[in-house]
Structure 1
């Protein structure tokens, strides 16, 4: 895996992680060639979410429910059983086309923030996920999961379901595990970025 580490998590697409009190902030940044309105639909509607993240029932108002049902192929790591595939989350903040925040992983201490800004003819998108200290051993999984899911955003904006690959996810997970153990290895140092959620 170390031979393909840089290839697997290239600097510009790699997630970042930094300590934040008793937890961590995981971050990803993307520039998408679509308007904030189109990106917003991929992030906040059942049709959009089903293409890249999970089947969803969502009420996009603060305090609304965000029920996710992950439909990746069955795998020993994540068998197709409700306790592994379903999440009950809560919508926290809704500012159309600029900010969407919700809990994640059926855990009120796990908070995801999506920030959208117009960028020429596209959108600058920033994901910041506050991961609680109880998730320390799972940080590599969260990093790999968000990266692989976000690879499907472009398809989702076009209304196309992006395929999930467990081989891809395991390769990303192993690469992130290596980086978490050796944060200063390599030239791109994706964990040195300072993510701000304010």
Structure 2
């Protein structure tokens, strides 16, 4: 039995949507017990990304310029030409992933940990799906950083670990947020 067999995602929390023109941006926050330098390596190093992220990278993302990201857990791999726009170790990473922009911010916490914030521009119809997916990816990232790895859980592999429930919970939360903004 693997570590992942016993893993179930907790309740939907730590995500919100922000209006951006006619669309929305998904914002996901997660507190991690590790220093920004360690988290930075986990979000930029291709070997570490393979442990938790929904994509593989053809190079280290810690430098600006072109890169290729390949989706994982999809029926057909989708390779995207990506542009790393800003890479300011260990606090800020901005990139385009296909038509979506992503911004990763790492803020040092007083307890030595990191507040990881991800802004991900994503189509309105997919924003709750994205939140559910990132929720599980960030759980896996936290366990990986704690040296208690679950192994990557993306695509269909995430389904038995609470993804459908998270999708429903985030859909309801985001609908309430949209109604508040109306």
Q: Which of the five TM-score ranges fits, normalised by the shorter chain? A: 0.7 to 0.9
> Does 2:109 match 1:119?
yes
**What is the match of residue 130 of structure 1?**
121
Aligned residues: 163
**What is the match of residue 41 of structure 1?**
41
Mark the CA change 1:181 to 1:124 in structure 2 (over 3 Å): closer, same or farther. closer
Whether the 8 Å CA contact 1:58–1:64 is kept in 2: the answer is no
1:22-171 to 2 correspondence within 5 Å?
22-53=22-53, 54-60=55-61, 61-70=63-72, 72=73, 78-79=74-75, 81-83=76-78, 86-104=79-97, 106-107=98-99, 110-120=100-110, 121-131=112-122, 135-157=123-145, 158=147, 160=149, 162-164=151-153, 165-167=158-160, 168-171=162-165
Instruction: Give RMSD over aligned pairs.
Output: 2.5
What is the TM-score when the length of structure 2 is the normalising length? Answer: 0.77
**What is the match of residue 195 of structure 1?**
none
Task: Describe the SS at the equivalent of 1:51.
Answer: coil
**What is the match of residue 179 of structure 1?**
173
CA distance in 2, matches of 1:32, 1:56: 23
CA distance in 2, matches of 1:82, 1:28: 25
Q: Which runs of 5+ in 1 are unaligned?
A: 1-6, 73-77, 186-190, 193-198
Q: Which runs of 5+ in 2 are unaligned?
A: 1-9
Mark the CA change 1:170 to 1:88 in structure 2 (over 3 Å): closer, same or farther. farther
CA distance in 2, matches of 1:126, 1:184: 21
Task: Describe the SS at the equivalent of 1:55.
Answer: strand
**Shift in Å at residue 184 of structure 1?**
8.3
